[in-house]
Amino acid sequence: MHKLSIRPKNYLKEIKMAKEKVILAYSGGLDTTVIIPWLKENYDYDVIAVCIDVGQGDDWEHIKSRALKTGASACYVVDARQEYIEEYIWPALKANAVYEDEYLLGTSTARPLIGKILVEYARQEGATAICHGATGKGNDQVRFELAIKAFAPDLRVIAAWRDDKWNMDSRDAEIKFLEDRGLEVPMKKDQSYSRDENIWHISHEGLELEKTANEPNYPHMLKNTKVPETAGDGEYVTIEWEKGIPVSLNGKKMNGLELMTALNEIGGRNGVGLVDICENRCVGMKSRGVYETPGGAILYFAHRMMDHICLDRDTYHYKQQVSLRLAELIYDGKVFTPLYDALMAFVDSTQQTVTGWTKVKLEKGQIRAAGSDSKYSLYNEDIASFTTGELYNHKDAQGFITLFGLPLKVRAMMEQKVGEGRAIAESKNLKKRPTE
């Protein structure tokens, strides 16, 4: 039997006076640190900061302390690294999803998870709003808010940089805001790149990168990757796969976090995974960024090797089309959509036989194939060999070519008959080639 609880006499008064709660996506950086007192002053919210660890490598205890000192009523730190790898990175990897030929979706894959966790805390805490510090020019505002809409369409979203009450337009203004209130300024004076870091990648924007004519200052910029020309003599890496997922590195079984940590170190010291790209943001402008994805670059290269030996021609070629669309969906933050689920169902189906091992050589920024094998390999030496075997007769190709080329032959015959068309025009303009 449930017991009735005795409420204090002033219980109803306390309810009326209780402040509404807002969940803040808190990174500990300048923007989100400013947002805590800004929210309290402009909206009189009870601010609950949520830090989501996707592999940034930050001092979370210090960041939590900063949030509380700045005015947050609570600060939660969530270790989401393994979840991020298994539920967001591995699907992108299995799909070979690459945005605009080069970008391995480092920031893009993390934002939907962060948005989902913010909703979970909003429900848990009974919050009425979620706030983020993404700027009005970037992709992240879209990614965060699409995730929130997917799970909590009833929650208010406060985007500080788009808010009418936000009157700071520079870092200097934000710093002054904190200094005027006697609060800690969380900013390193000697480093001005705009960065995003997680277990998958590090992005760099700003400074010399704002002009496309400038070469990146790699010695000053890079954090986890050696400048390729200064890397060592190289090394081999062997990865085992089960249904499109890496499970072992150099003969040692590892979980996703262990494997990514090790591969980032290996790839970083060999200078692999550097990308300098001027990409199309989903909000309509171009932006230039340099990405460090040392471990991810190795995995993408090695996974394609597995696909190459395990998938038939039609499946692989169609998967290439699906990969392109999935990359766009991930980049735009449309992960929690029916189309994403449907396309990933196709990808998962293709990966049922992508099991085996791949070996690559890393050397001064380059990744080269060094062998692969699978019990599901469709490569057949008896057929592929130049030596004629029982499974293939060279003469069989004659009938294939006759049928394969029949449409071309029929069209050319028609053009000869009517006296016009490509076959006729080309015949009249045949070049005279030297005979000596």
From 66, 81, 108, 111, the catalytic residue = 111
pLDDT digits 0-9 by tens, 161-206: 999 999 998 888 999 999 999 999 986 544 578 899 999 999 999 9
Q: Identify whether 347 is part of a domain.
A: no
Active-site residue 164, yes or no?
Answer: no
Same domain for 209 and 129 = no
Q: What distances in angstroms separate CA 300 from CA 110, 259, 296, 317, one per listed residue?
A: 17, 14, 6, 17
From 46, 53, 171, 194, the catalytic residue = 194
Determine the Cα–Cα distance for residues 104 and 273; give it in Å rounded to an integer.
Answer: 9
The helix (run of H) or strand (run of E) holding residue 329 is: helix 313-331
Determine the Cα–Cα distance for residues 250 and 368; give it in Å rounded to an integer.
Answer: 16
Q: Identify whether 143 is part of a domain.
A: yes
* Cα pseudo-dihedral 78, 82, 87, 90, rounded to 10: 150
Half-sphere exposure of 72 (CA within 13 A, CB side): 25
Q: Identify whether 234 is part of a domain.
A: yes
Determine the Cα–Cα distance for residues 162 and 136; give it in Å rounded to an integer.
Answer: 6
Determine the Cα–Cα distance for residues 31 and 160; give it in Å rounded to an integer.
Answer: 9
Nearest to 203 by CA among 195, 192, 215, 211: 195
Active-site residue 81, yes or no?
Answer: no
pLDDT digits 0-9 by tens, 229-285: 999 899 999 999 999 999 999 999 999 999 999 999 999 999 999 999 999 999 999
In which domain, by residue range, is 70 found? 18-95+106-187
pLDDT attached to residue 423: 83
Q: Which residues contact 48 (CB under 8 A, 6 or more apart)?
A: 21, 22, 23, 24, 72, 73, 74, 75, 76, 121, 125, 127
pLDDT digits 0-9 by tens, 52-91: 999 999 999 999 999 999 999 999 999 999 999 999 999 9
Same domain for 177 and 206 = no
Residue 153: which CATH number? 3.40.50.620
Q: Identify whether 329 is part of a domain.
A: no
What is the share, in percent, of the chain residues with pLDDT greater than 70? 94
pLDDT attached to residue 11: 47
**Crossing angle for the helix pair 338-350 and 313-331, nearest 10 degrees?**
150
Higher pLDDT among residues 60 and 15, named by residue? 60
pLDDT attached to residue 4: 37
Whether 354 and 306 have beta carbons less than 8 Å apart is answered as: yes
Same domain for 233 and 199 = yes
Last residue of a domain, one of 119, 154, 187: 187
Q: Identify whether 394 is part of a domain.
A: no
Q: Identify whether 400 is part of a domain.
A: no
Q: Identify whether 272 is part of a domain.
A: yes
Q: Phi, psi at residue 329, to the nearest 5°?
A: -65, -45
Same domain for 210 and 284 = yes
pLDDT attached to residue 10: 54
Q: Identify whether 238 is part of a domain.
A: yes
Q: Is the pLDDT of residue 23 over 70?
A: yes
Position 261: which residue type? T
Position 109: which residue type? T
Active-site residue 31, yes or no?
Answer: yes
Active-site residue 46, yes or no?
Answer: no
Determine the Cα–Cα distance for residues 32 and 26; give it in Å rounded to an integer.
Answer: 6
Q: Give the SS3 label for residue 50.
A: strand
Q: What distances in angstroms separate CA 28 from CA 51, 61, 116, one per listed residue?
A: 8, 11, 19
Q: Is the pLDDT of residue 385 over 90?
A: no
Averaged over 91-107, what is the pLDDT? 98
Last residue of a domain, one of 187, 218, 233: 187
Domain count for the chain: 2
Q: Where are the beta strands (DSSP E) in 281-401?
A: 286-292, 356-363, 366-373
Half-sphere exposure of 159 (CA within 13 A, CB side): 16
Determine the Cα–Cα distance for residues 33 and 132; give it in Å rounded to an integer.
Answer: 11
pLDDT attached to residue 7: 46
pLDDT attached to residue 364: 97
Q: Is the pLDDT of residue 5 over 50?
A: no
Average predicted confidence (pLDDT) for the chain = 93
Same domain for 167 and 216 = no
Same domain for 199 and 221 = yes
Determine the Cα–Cα distance for residues 195 and 201; give it in Å rounded to an integer.
Answer: 10
* Cα pseudo-dihedral 23, 27, 29, 31, rounded to 10: -40
**CB count, 10 Å around CB of 210?**
10
Same domain for 182 and 225 = no
pLDDT attached to residue 192: 73
pLDDT attached to residue 432: 84
Q: Which residues contact 120 (CB under 8 A, 6 or more apart)?
A: none
Task: Note the residue count of the chain.
Answer: 436
Same domain for 286 and 164 = no
From 31, 196, 307, 332, the catalytic residue = 31
From 27, 66, 140, 372, the catalytic residue = 140
Same domain for 242 and 212 = yes
Averaged over 125-138, what is the pLDDT? 95
pLDDT attached to residue 83: 98
pLDDT tier for residue 433 given thresholds of 50, 70 and 90: confident
Higher pLDDT among residues 349 and 10, named by residue? 349
pLDDT tier for residue 387 given thresholds of 50, 70 and 90: low
Same domain for 254 and 126 = no
Determine the Cα–Cα distance for residues 141 and 121; give it in Å rounded to an integer.
Answer: 19
pLDDT attached to residue 394: 82
Whether 247 and 254 have beta carbons less than 8 Å apart is answered as: yes
Q: What distances in angstroms separate CA 37 from CA 10, 43, 49, one per listed residue?
A: 29, 10, 12
DSSP percent split of the chain into helix, strand, coil, nearest 5: 45, 20, 35
Nearest to 84 by CA among 200, 176, 177, 5: 200
pLDDT digits 0-9 by tens, 276-325: 999 999 999 999 999 999 999 999 999 999 999 999 999 999 999 999 99
Tokens (6 digits) for 330? 């991930």
Q: Is the pLDDT of residue 227 over 50?
A: yes
Last residue of a domain, one of 382, 398, 422: 382
Same domain for 160 and 119 = yes
Same domain for 370 and 275 = yes
- Region of residue 195 (left: phi > 0; alpha: psi -120 to 50; beta: else): beta
Residue 202: which CATH number? 3.90.1260.10
